[in-house]
Amino acid sequence: MLSLKCLRSGLALLAVMAGLVQAQPLQPPEIAGRNYLLIDLNADQVLAERDADARVDPASLTKLMTAYVVFEAIKAKKLTLEQTLPVSLRAWAERKGGGSLMFIDPKMKPKVDELLRGMIAVSGNDAAVALAEGVAGSVDAFVGMMNRQAQAWGLKNTQFKNVTGLDEAGHYSSARDIATMAAHIIRDHPDSFATYYSIRQYTFNHIKQDNRNLLLGRDPTVDGMKTGYTDEAGYCLVATAQREFPNGKRRLLSVVLGTASREARASESQKLLNWGYTAWDAVRLFEGDKPALKVPVWKGQQSEAQLGAAKPLFVAVPHGEGDKLKTVVERTDPLVAPLAQGQRVGTLKVTTAAGALVTAVPLVVQRAVPEAGLFGRAWDSLRLWIK
C-alpha cells in the first residue's frame, strides 16, 4: 500500500542547515495607508500586510484587470496592436466623468497599442472604454469577462461594475486581490508588462501627460505598475521593483491603498519596498531542473528516480537567517514504475529547526522512469512481497 512518510536518515542530506528562524514575524515600518500588502514574487510569499482582504474602492487599479483581459484577447488573436478601434460616444462621454483621460474623440481611430498606452500610462478612462468595446462589443459584456476572470482566480473580495474604476455601488476589490491581478500581468504577459507599465510620459494628439507613478522617476529598479485615485478610495499605488542580488534577480510587489496624497502613496510604497529588500533575504533552495534527491524505484527500467521541485524554489527569510533553515521531504513509498516526468509523488517542506512551516511545494519526478519488462516486474514484485 502506498503511504506518505517523512524522509529518513538516508535522505538527511536534504537538511539545508539546522537552526531557528526568528519565530516572531518582522514588524514592517509604519505605513500611512488604510490597507497594504507586500509580496516577494520569487518566493510567492507575503512579507507584510494590513487589512489586505478588506473590500475597498479600487479606483483606477481596476484597470489592471481591464488590461489583463485585453492582453488575453491579443494573445488569442482577437485583435492586434496595430488594429484601429472606433471611439464611441460612450468613450467620448468619459470626459464628463471627472476622471483621467487620454483625450480621444469620435473623429479618431486610435490603434490598440495607443489605447493601451493611454489607459496604462496616463490612466485614460476613455481609452479603457474604447478597448472594452473593441474586445467585447460593449462595456457590459467586457465587465462580465472581467468578473469571470476574477472568479477563475478565486478572488473572493472583488466584483467589477465598470472598466475604469470610478466609484460605483457594488464595485470593489481588496489589496490581496489587486496584488493577484498585478502578479498575473507580470507572469502571464511579461512582454506587455515591460512595454507599457514603465512608460513615464505619453503624448497623444499633441497632449503630453506624465505617468502618475512617481517612483518610476525616483527608483531605477521600479518598473511599474498602476496608480489610482477617487474621493472614496484615496490615493493608491501598486508598485513593483526588481533588484539584482548575488543569487539572481528578485522582484517585490507592493499595494498601498487609501493614502492622503500622490506624494504619500509614492513615499509609503517606496518605504515598504525598501524594507522588503533590506529586512528579508531571498534564499534559493532548489533549481527547477536539478534533482533534490534520488530514491529507489520498483518495477522500473531504472533502479532510481530523480525527484525535486517543479520550478526553482525560493523562500524569503529574515535577513541573515537563510542558513538556519531545513528541508523535510514527505514522499510516496514505495515508488512503483511507470513514473511520468512531472508526476507528483510527495511534498518538499521548508521549516524552521523547531518545525514551523515556511513553505511547501510539490515533489515531482524530474525524469520519467518507464516500466521494466516482464521479468523485472516479477522480480520486484517478489522483493516487495518479502519486504
What HEC string does the chain produce? CCEEEECCHHHHHHCCCCCCCCCCCCCCCCCCCCEEEEEECCCCEEEEEECCCCCECCHHHHHHHHHHHHHHHHHCCCCCCCCECCCCHHHHHHHHCCCCCCCCCCCCCCEHHHHHHHHHCCCCHHHHHHHHHHHHCCHHHHHHHHHHHHHHCCCCCCECCCCCCCCCCCCEECHHHHHHHHHHHHHHCHHHHHHHCCCCEEEECCEEEECCCHHHHCCCCEEEEEEEEECCCEEEEEEEEEEEECCEEEEEEEEEEEECCHHHHHHHHHHHHHHHHHHEEEEEEECCCCCCEEEEEECECCCEEEEEECCCEEEEEECCCHHHCEEEEEEEECEECCECCCCEEEEEEEECCCCCEEEEEEEEECCCECECCHHHHHHHHHHHHHC
Which of 83-97, 237-251, 272-286, 287-301 shows the lowest mean pLDDT across its residues? Answer: 287-301
In a domain, 157, yes or no: yes
pLDDT digits (tens, 9 = 90+) for 60-81: 999 999 999 999 999 999 999 9
- What's the mean pLDDT when you consider all of the chain? 87
The total number of structural domains that make up the chain: 2
Residues 66 and 177 in one domain: yes
Q: Which domain holds residue 111?
A: 35-259
Residues 310 and 248 in one domain: no
The residue among 216, 242, 259 that closes a domain is 259
Percent of the chain with pLDDT over 90: 64
Residues 233 and 365 in one domain: no
Question: Is pLDDT above 80 for 4?
Answer: no
Give the confidence band of 12 by pLDDT, cuts at 50, 70, 90. very low
Residue positions annotated with a catalytic role: 60, 63, 123
Residues 242 and 291 in one domain: no
Give the confidence band of 386 by pLDDT, cuts at 50, 70, 90. low
Residues 105 and 143 in one domain: yes
In a domain, 349, yes or no: yes
pLDDT digits (tens, 9 = 90+) for 313-352: 888 988 888 788 888 888 877 878 788 888 898 898 888 7
Q: What is the mean pLDDT of residues 125-130?
A: 98
Residues 13 and 102 in one domain: no
CATH of the domain at 10: 2.60.410.10
The residue among 224, 259, 294 that closes a domain is 259
What is the predicted pLDDT for the residue at 73? 98
Q: What is the mean pLDDT of residues 215-231?
A: 97
Q: What is the mean pLDDT of residues 130-144?
A: 98
Question: Is pLDDT above 60 for 24?
Answer: no
Residues 123 and 46 in one domain: yes
Residues 192 and 102 in one domain: yes
What is the predicted pLDDT for the residue at 16? 28
Question: Is pLDDT above 50 for 109?
Answer: yes
In a domain, 110, yes or no: yes
Residues 148 and 248 in one domain: yes
pLDDT digits (tens, 9 = 90+) for 36-46: 999 999 999 99
In a domain, 271, yes or no: no
CATH of the domain at 186: 3.40.710.10
Question: Is pLDDT above 50 for 29?
Answer: yes
Give the confidence band of 300 by pLDDT, cuts at 50, 70, 90. low
What is the predicted pLDDT for the residue at 360? 86
- Cell 500581468, located at residue: 185
Residues 232 and 312 in one domain: no
Task: Judge whether 139 and 132 are in contact, CB under 8 Å.
Answer: yes
What is the predicted pLDDT for the residue at 385? 54
Residues 149 and 7 in one domain: no
Residues 289 and 237 in one domain: no
What is the predicted pLDDT for the residue at 6? 37
